[in-house]
Amino acid sequence: MFRTSEISRKTAETDIYLAINLDGTGKSEINTGMGFLDHMLTLFASHGRFDLTVRCKGDLQVDCHHSAEDIGICLGKAFEEALSDKRGIRRYGHIILPMDETLILSAADISGRSCLAYSVQYPTEKIGEFDTELVEEFFVSFVRNCPMSLHIEKLAGSNSHHIAEGVFKSVARTLRRAVSFDPDTINEIPSTKGVL
């Protein structure tokens, strides 16, 4: 069973097509108009083993905010749709991931409740043309549209690029674990409530 979703979303600010296969091999086709976010989403797909296509035309003449935020919305919606009733998933995932001098902790509970706990500081305000504060905005949008508790914390790090890269890799591997199937409970929804 392949868990897939396609999302198209058009506003006055962005025009986005996004497709995901949660049970993929990590291949990706990313074109957001933002080189740094293209790099991060390529890493996200590879480390999560998600097949991911993202095409975005946004109002980059304003700045990167609307595009980063709206791609987060679409990715969250795609995850939520692909997970369906979440039957058989592990639900939880976590990792402490090193990226050179950087160390990032992330943990997720695909609980049906939206909560982002983000404790990551960057030594610079920008990485290339990309505002570092938009990493948090991206994940805020993601968890609002695929309701989960997602904790991201920087334990060490002094290079902004490494920190952001560590965040995306860490979250990808955390989600890879959380959405994977648990063979012991393959026909069960992992909640005493009977619904997530």
**80-136 per-position pLDDT tens digit:** 999 999 999 999 999 999 999 999 999 999 999 999 999 999 999 999 999 999 999
Strands 149-156 and 92-99, sheet pairing: unpaired
**Structural domains of the chain, ranges and CATH numbers in brackets:** 4-185 (3.30.230.40)
* Position 150 pLDDT exceeds 90: yes
Q: What is the 3-state secondary structure (H, E, C) of the chain?
A: CCCEEEEEEECCCEEEEEEEECCCCCCEEEECCCHHHHHHHHHHHHHHCCEEEEEEEECCCCCCHHHHHHHHHHHHHHHHHHHCCCCCECCEEEEEEEECCEEEEEEEECCCCCEEEEECCCCCCEECCEECHHHHHHHHHHHHHCCCEEEEEEEECCCHHHHHHHHHHHHHHHHHHHHCECHHHCCCCCCCCCCC
pTM above 0.95, yes or no: yes
Tokens of 24: 């993929």
* Position 5 pLDDT exceeds 80: yes
Average confidence (pLDDT) over 150-167: 98
The length of the chain is 196
